[in-house]
Every structure is written in C-alpha cells, then in structure tokens.
Amino acid sequence: MAVPASLAADGAPTSLPDLFQRYRPGIAKALRDELSQNHVDLYDLLRYYMGWVDENGRLRPAMEGKGLRPTLCLFACEAVGGAAELAMPAAVALEFIHNFSLIHDDIQDLDETRHGRKTLWAVWGIPKALVAGNALRIVADQVLHQLVAAGLEHKRALIAVGLLTEAYLEMIEGQYLDLSFEGRHDIGMDDYLEMISRKTGALIRCSLALGAVIGTANPATATAFRDCGAALGYVFQIRDDILGVWGDEETTGKPVGADIRRKKNSYPVVFAMEQSKGEDARTLNRIYESEQLDGPDVASVLEIMDRVDVRGHAHESAAAYAGAALDSLGAVEMSGPIRQEIEDLTRFLLVRPL
C-alpha cells in the first residue's frame, strides 16, 4: 500500500470534522428515544452507561462521545444519495452494539472507570452488568428492524440485518482473540492485524457498509464503502495503540506508556517484539514475563521502541491503510464536497488526539 504524501507525517492533531456536529443532534435524540420509554430498573443502568443519568437515575448533563459509528453510517447513506433519516435505525443499533461491547470489556478488564465515571459492574456488580449488556444488544436488534417501517425495502433491510449480525459476531470473536493473546510473547503482526480487523474493524466496516446499503441499491458502491470501512478500522486501532503508549496524558487521561504497563499486546509491543534482537529482545522478554511492570521497566521498553522506530512504523502503516480507504472509493461517483469530507474524516482518524 502506497502512503499518500498528505498522510505520511504524524502531524499535529486535527479538529473534529464538521460532519460529526451535523449528525450529533439527530443521533442523540434517536438514542434517547429508544431507551426512554421503558421504566424497568434494568434500563436505568443502560441510561446511566450512556451518560444521561446518575447512579440514582436522576438526569445529568450528557456525557456523550463522538458517535463515530453512527456518524459513519449516516454519512455513507447521504454520500451515496440516500436520506440520513432512513439510516437512523441502523445508526442507533450500531451505537448500542458498541456500548454493549464496552460494558463487557469493562468487566473482562476489571476497569472501574470509563470517561471519568464508574463502570456498570463497579456500581451494580458483575451479574447485573452482564445482563444489562446483553439487554442492550437485543435492543439494538429490535431497533434495526425499524428499517422497514422507516421506508426501506424488505430485501435491503434483510441485507442490513445480516451485515450487523455478522459484524458483531466478528467483534466478539476479536475480543476472544485479544483475551487469548494476554500473557503471550509469541504474537506476530499477522495475529495482531487479524485480531483488530475483528475486534475494532468489524463495526467500523459495518457502519459504512450499512449506510451505503440503505442509501443505494448499487452493490458495487456498497462494496466500495465496506472496503473503505475495513481499512479505516485499521487506521483507528493503530492510532489508538500509538496513543496508548505516547498519547498526551492531559488529552487521553492516561500516562505515557499506559498500555506498556498493562502489558497489552498492542501494535507497538508486537512490532517491538518482532524487530528487537539480542539484548533488547532478552530485555523485552524478561520484562513481559514479570508479574508487574514498574517505572524503570516502562522506560526500558520505551527506549527499545525508539531504537526500532516503532512509532514511525506504526504511523506509516496507519497512513497506508488511510490511503487504501480513500482508494477504495476512487471509482464511486460523489460530489467534490462529499469527497473532501471523506478525506477530512480519514485524516482525523489518522492523527486524532483521542
């Protein structure tokens, strides 16, 4: 994959593209509408996790994220000539599936906080958090079935349901791979890329594919957006892994080397393990065989990463995938402004600060 000159340098963070602000109000309202009608206590847990209420169910200022996946879905639908409103059920389903995965991730990693708030299991215990996560997945399925009521023909609605089901099964498979890699030092780059293509990439790929399928009956166009999404999944996760090691603490909320301390098999670690030789290789193996890593251990790993230029290689790899994402849409007919927005979005994912 060739690296476009405009994407080759790991430059200063770019601002959030305008398209996120364009879709945010509609996404926020649709998400709330789906979870506001049910008064069973279980749904208080879900509303809490979405950032709308406190632990006692009282309304609080919303703590909503960027909404990457629903935004990609709505954008793809409009980019191919469809109406964003038609794709809103799919956008909502994607965001619920994403949060279902995060609820379970928090349990698996025993993380007690996310975005500065206690996680579900830390407040209500693991059993209730598991049930809440599973319920949110079912709610997502139910929401997706609203596509026909919104006006989408049955055949394309069925394709859309299949795409989302396939994607979140792959996401779960990727999470299993990630868990199975813990504590292992023999994970190669091919293993890592296969894992992230599922755990992270599946939903991002599905977001663009769903929007395109809903917005156009042209299968070639839908395939092009699916391929674009697959490439962007790599961009997103590799950048995330760069930030997990070298991200600014004030911006990311994590100290430099946070993922090293957690012994996470991220891109920088896997690449360093593959490329290091001699004493550096022995040092890495010794450190990662330790029960816990201390400050000097993290510093040693960072020094080895610098010697094999992990950060530069990781950014070049992400930039190559960014170029592939844009190339995937080369034959798709789109207006100049739409194509510019895709380029801006790709650039943002490549150099985003969070």
Q: Taking 90 as the threshold, does the pLDDT of residue 237 lie above it?
A: yes
Complete DSSP assignment for 306-338: HHTTHHHHHHHHHHHHHHHHHHHTTTS---HHH
Q: How far is CA 321 from CA 236, 346, 350, in A?
A: 10, 10, 9
CA nearest 13: which of 315, 276, 328, 220?
A: 315
**Domain chopping of the chain, boundaries:** 226-354
Q: pLDDT tens digits, residue range 219-232? A: 999 999 999 999 99
pLDDT bin (cut points 50, 70, 90) of residue 1 is: very low
The DSSP line for 267-278 is HHHHHHHHH--H
Mean pLDDT for the chain? 92
pLDDT higher than threshold 70 for residue 12 = no
Q: For the chain, list the strands marked E by DSSP.
A: 113-114, 117-118
Contact at 8 Å (CB) between 211 and 77? yes
When pLDDT is cut at 50, 70 and 90, the band that residue 21 belongs to is: very high
Helix orientation angle between 310-328 and 295-307, rounded to the nearest 10 degrees: 60
Report pLDDT digits (tens) over 100-158. Answer: 999 999 999 889 998 889 999 999 999 999 999 999 999 999 999 999 999 999 999 99
Q: Are 41 and 93 in contact (CB under 8 A)?
A: no
Q: Does 3.20.20.370 match the CATH number of domain 226-354?
A: no
Q: For residue 154, give every residue at least 6 positions away whose Cβ sits within 8 Å of its Cβ, in sequence order, or none.
A: 148
Amino acid in position 237: Q
